[in-house]
Chains A and B, each alone.
Chain A
Amino acid sequence: MILLANNLVTPGVGTIFWSVLIFILFLLILSKFAWKPILSAVKARDEMIKGSLESAAKAREEMLKLQSDNETILRKAREEREGILKEAREVRDKLISEAKGKATEEADKLIEKARTGIENEKLKALSEIHEQVATLSVDIASKLLGEKLKPSGKQAKLIDNYLKEIDFNKN
């Protein structure tokens, strides 16, 4: 038994020869026709999966970026709209207030003009009245005095003085 066991752990030359032959052939054939295509296919698949995942992540990122971009654009647009509206409101208010001011001014001017006109007319009327009154007074006086007073000279002066004393504005 020990001898047989000894035989068991002594490598046989023939078996070594065939093992080398079979194993090397097995290795060479498989390396060329099996492992190479299999490993490259697996690697290609791995790379494709990795690439797809990466591009998906990139797309997601880009989408998020686009979304945030959209949001900023929207926000900006909203802000701009608000700004424009505010400006318009301001412009309108300004226009209105300006118009109001101008109108008041104009009205004031008109009123002023009217007043000066009235004043002038009044003065004119008054001076006319003066003259009329003077004539009338002279007439009355001449009638009273019996003599025709000349509307010039001492009498006229006197009448004017009297008339000046009368304040028309008082009544």
Chain B
Amino acid sequence: MLLLAGTTISVFGQEVKEKTESEGKFDASTFILDHIADSHEWHILTKKNGDNVEIYLPVILYSKEKGLDIFSSKKLADGNEYKGYKIEEEGDLQGKIVSVNKEGTVDEKNLPLDLSMTKAVIGMLSAAIIGLLLFLSLSRSYRKSGISHPKGIQSFLEPVILFVRDDIAIPNLGHKYEKYMPYLLTAFFFILINNLMGLIPFPPPFGANVTGNIAVTFVMATCTFLITQFSGNKTYWKHIFAAPGVPFWLLPIMIPVEIIGLFSKPFALMIRLFANITAGHIIVLSLICLIFIFNSLSIAPVSILFVIFMDFLELLVAFLQAYIFTLLSALFISMAVQENH
């Protein structure tokens, strides 16, 4: 944990120092949002002379006129133009890839479809690969040891799997839990691994803000939404379109409310995960920025202490958010599959 906080401070600190020195002033909010937002390259450090050491990630673009283009984001570095594309540096579209006309102006109405493997995508992919390695080896050890007592990696992961089963799935879903276990387990560990990897600032692929990316939480919440709707039984739909005990003249009000309720539940899932993780990252980054805002080394111990504290808190939040997302998913599914009230 100390190591985690230490790396966090040294990695970001050094970067901020170099940036400040090269640019002369320090803008904390830009710095923080730069780190939280997705990007086409993975920044490692900025040298004293202002050069950036970065991992350039693949850019994949599709537009009607030019078709599919795949190239390294190095071609677009420092505002360079390549194949009629460039990364917009300011304005509404800052950070996005835009098409450039022959005259050299940005075509704002005709944005290319950006399917690039950004920092968040690489982070997510790495988390998925780590998860696959972890659980495939776990399943292999189960196949090998049969039903004997858990040992090695099993004794570490089995309690978590049993926790998801006994404390999330079974209390909510009852005897129907088995059907939804794969999704609940996958969601839990996907979020958990991404949260934990996001806490570790260095080296890549750690430190990407994956679960704090609204697109990722949107996809996960949509999965829960779709599973909920597709497992909805007669009682569930009846409650939405003809809630028992509600007078018929109230239905024109109740039906829209219920339909909004359908969407607000996964929407809350999406926002909760996104906001919690993003907020945690913002706090840690802000605490580090304090050193540079005060421009004094004497604030560093305070900063470090707070960052250590926040990292502990974030570690808790990483587990907590994975738990809450899975628990609420199970709860929403259970509302759709329960027989009657």
Q: State whether B182 touches A27 (Cβ < 8 A).
A: yes
Complex-state Cα separation, A38 to B146, whole angstroms: 10
Q: Which residues of the partner chain B approach A4 to less than 8 Å between Cβ atoms?
A: 30, 33, 37, 94-95
> Which of the four size classes fits the interface of chain A?
35 or more
Check A162 for interface membership: any CB of B closer than 8 A: no
Q: State whether B121 touches A14 (Cβ < 8 A).
A: yes
Q: State whether A23 touches B182 (Cβ < 8 A).
A: no
Q: Which residues of the partner chain B approach A29 to less than 8 Å between Cβ atoms?
A: 132, 136
Q: State whether B124 touches A35 (Cβ < 8 A).
A: no
Q: State whether A10 touches B214 (Cβ < 8 A).
A: yes
Check B44 for interface membership: any CB of A closer than 8 A: no
Complex-state Cα separation, A140 to B115, whole angstroms: 181
Q: State whether A7 touches B37 (Cβ < 8 A).
A: yes
Q: CB-defined interface of A90-119 with B at 8 Å, one 1/0 digit per residue?
A: 000000000000000000000000000000
Identify the stretch in A42-50, A124-132, A142-150 within 8 Å (CB) of chain B at 4 or more residues.
A42-50
The answer to whether A14 and B214 touch (CB under 8 A), given A23-B190, A41-B146, A42-B162, is no
Q: Which residues of the partner chain B approach A12 to less than 8 Å between Cβ atoms?
A: 38, 114, 118, 215
Closest beta carbon of chain A to B124's beta carbon, Å: 5
Check A25 for interface membership: any CB of B closer than 8 A: yes
Q: CB-defined interface of A127-170 with B at 8 Å, one 1/0 digit per residue?
A: 00000000000000000000000000000000000000000000
Residues from 1 to 35 in A contacting B, C-beta threshold 8 Å: 1, 3-5, 7-20, 22-23, 25-27, 29-31, 33-35
Complex-state Cα separation, A63 to B274, whole angstroms: 61
Q: Which residues of the partner chain B approach A37 to less than 8 Å between Cβ atoms?
A: 139, 142-143
Q: Nearest chain-B residue to A6 (Cβ)? A: B92
Q: Which residues of the partner chain A approach B185 to less than 8 Å between Cβ atoms?
A: 30, 35
Complex-state Cα separation, A45 to B139, whole angstroms: 14
Count of chain B residues with a beta carbon within 8 Å of a chain A beta carbon: 54
Q: State whether A7 touches B117 (Cβ < 8 A).
A: no
Closest beta carbon of chain A to B219's beta carbon, Å: 4
Check B243 for interface membership: any CB of A closer than 8 A: no
Q: Which residues of the partner chain A approach B219 to less than 8 Å between Cβ atoms?
A: 16, 19-20, 23
Q: Nearest chain-A residue to B146 (Cβ)? A: A41
Check B36 for interface membership: any CB of A closer than 8 A: yes
Q: State whether B218 touches A35 (Cβ < 8 A).
A: no
Complex-state Cα separation, A13 to B218, whole angstroms: 11
Q: Which residues of the partner chain A approach B218 to less than 8 Å between Cβ atoms?
A: 11, 16, 19
Check B181 for interface membership: any CB of A closer than 8 A: yes
Closest beta carbon of chain B to A53's beta carbon, Å: 15
Q: State whether A7 touches B135 (Cβ < 8 A).
A: no
Q: Which residues of the partner chain A approach B213 to less than 8 Å between Cβ atoms?
A: 15
Interface contacts beyond A14-B121, A35-B135, A35-B181: sample of 9 additional A-B pairs, CB < 8 Å, sorted by A: A4-B30, A9-B214, A11-B214, A14-B114, A19-B219, A22-B124, A35-B139, A38-B138, A42-B158
Chain A interface residues (CB < 8 Å from chain B): 1, 3-5, 7-20, 22-23, 25-27, 29-31, 33-39, 41-42, 44-45, 48
Chain B interface residues (CB < 8 Å from chain A): 29-30, 33, 36-38, 60, 91-92, 94-96, 113-118, 120-121, 124-125, 128, 131-132, 135-136, 138-139, 142-143, 146-147, 158, 161-162, 165, 178, 181-183, 185-186, 190, 213-216, 218-220, 223, 274, 278
A-B contact pairs, 10 of them (CB 8 A): A1-B33, A11-B215, A14-B115, A15-B118, A15-B216, A18-B115, A30-B132, A30-B186, A34-B138, A44-B147
